[in-house]
Structures are given as C-alpha cells and as structure tokens.
Amino acid sequence: MYKREFTAWYRRMSVVYGIGAWSVLGSLFYYNRTMAKSSDRKDGLTTETPGEVSEHPKGFYVETVIIYKEDFVPITEKILNYWKSWTGGPGAEP
C-alpha cells in the first residue's frame, strides 16, 4: 500500500512540475515574441536599443569614497577567527 501511495504522489508531482516548466517556457517565448514585434512597430527609424544612450549627460558623474578606520577588521576575518577558535586552529593573534 505504501509503495502505491508513493507512486501516485510521484506521478502527481511530476505532472505539476511539467505543467509549471512548460508554462514558464511558453510565457518566455510569448513575451520575447511580443516584445520583438512591439519594438519593430514602435520605432522603425532608430537603430538604437532602448537601454543604450548615444551621449552621456553633461555634468553627470559618480564618485565613490571609501573610508577605512585605523583599526578596521573585516567581518570575514572576524568570522574566520571565531570559526578557528571552535575548530582548534590558531585564533586571532594578539
């Protein structure tokens, strides 16, 4: 009886998985086709892609400033030292 129940459950889950997988693939295919058609109709004169900008705006820039503290210890090093203290390896050095 147990094997029969497992087989029935396995078949049901296989059907659910198959329906889900084919639905995702079908919707991706449909979405790609509709997006290709809409971009052809929308502007047939421009060869530029929507995400591509021909010129950068003037005065636009990004500046990144990284400030380190004098006695800064990265979190990864703290975790590693804690792990080593539990596993018997050399811990933090004084």
With a cut of 70, list the residues of the chain below it in pLDDT: 1, 39-57, 89-94
Nearest to 30, CA basis, from 18, 20, 22: 22
Q: Are 41 and 52 in contact (CB under 8 A)?
A: no
42-67: pLDDT as tens digits: 555 555 555 665 666 677 777 888 88
Confidence (pLDDT) at 49: 57
Confidence (pLDDT) at 86: 84
Confidence (pLDDT) at 17: 96
